[in-house]
Structure 1
Amino acid sequence: MRSQLKYALVTGGNRGIGFAICKGLLEAGFNIFLAARLLDKGKAAMDKLSAHGSVHLIELDVTDDGSIQQAIEQVCKQTNTLDVLVNNAGIYPDEEANILTVSRERLTKALDTNALSPIGITQAFIPLLEKAEYPKVINISSGNGQLDGISTSAPSYSLSKLALNGATILLANALQSKNISVYAMCPGWVKTDMGGPSAPLSPEEGADTAIWLATEAGRTENGKFFRDRTEQSY
């Protein structure tokens, strides 16, 4: 008999929107795998979250295949199913760059972290996801990844999120036969290290749509892009 416990893994869960997603999912009854690249920062976040429910710290560098495999092994020590995978970890490397000056190195780094890594992590966790009753993958994207939102002043970020949106569609189509739903969502402009202090939204507000997707959205929303719980165009 399948355990009634629900498990979610959140990459970049130690701060900002990822931390708020972890907290919201804990309050919704999930057991959380908080994946962080740096264990000390992950431990500090886990200590703050532990009062809200069960949190397991996972060391994960999303750009390293060996680290992804080790993360799977850590997760499998606790469960053989994964109900929700949130691909949240990302970078914004476009300070003082535009599409006319951005380097190939910066473009490659953004694409690797923000688009290729979520694909690789999703591929790696398919065996655990397909054992869940209603498995879901949630990709944290951006309005800068929409065709009418790409920005010449955020070239690598925009292109990487555009690629992530495309990957969401491809994964949703490919995983439909396994009953794994895949969504993309924009959290909006949020007060985080990336968004800065002038942003109008709190991390909790930015996390709301991801939590809604994890807890309420169904298969009819598969492959779609959301902001404020509302479907958006790619």
Structure 2
Amino acid sequence: MRSWPSLHKRSSPVFPIFKLKSLGELVLNGCSSFEKFPEILEPMERLRRLELGGTKLKELPCLIENAVGRKELELPGCRCFESVPNSTLPRSTVILWPSMYYLDLGGCTKLGEIPDCIFFRLKRLSRLDLGGSMIRRIPSTINQASELGELIIRNCELLESLPELPYGLGYINARGCKRLKTLSGFTTARTHGSYLNIARDFYDCGSLDENARRYSGRTRTRASTSLAVREVKFQNG
């Protein structure tokens, strides 16, 4: 079982999802009335992927950690989604996703903060999309996500700085981050040559300071679907 089309007009499921022990994917994309994800009261070892894009979810349930096999969580366009569990909550409610490699929070326009603790628990995260969110900062703990290869922060219009990033990062898209000023991570790591080959796009980042511009000059970047080499464009205004 993959999708649940009858939920398009429901605010929450009427059936306890955790009873579906063989469920591998749950796709609720476009269920515009879906507001509350049910508690997962028992372990679901086969649930690998949750697609919840375009729903009205504001938060994740405390016991979502019982989806122990999850590897992908996609919440693109969830404009009501406000928060990710943080370290002020009991340990049992903090996201424990050691096997997850893809987290998509792109277009979550009410999301204003990423808690510091999350990156200590996402050791295998390889792709993170925060594009279009209202975050003002990225926690310095992001360098704990040692397998992160792709970071999408395009159109994060309130983001002002970037911390030191994981050395294995291969691509960053910061296009349209109009308030982005400093790239402390690039400045530090460039000295040691660790970011020389990173593919990056800072087009329309008109607030970059002089130091940031110096350390984010020409480099390899990729087209939307390939690793084609072209020149990164920067807005001078």
Higher helix share: 1
Global fold match (TM > 0.5) = no
Larger radius of gyration: 2
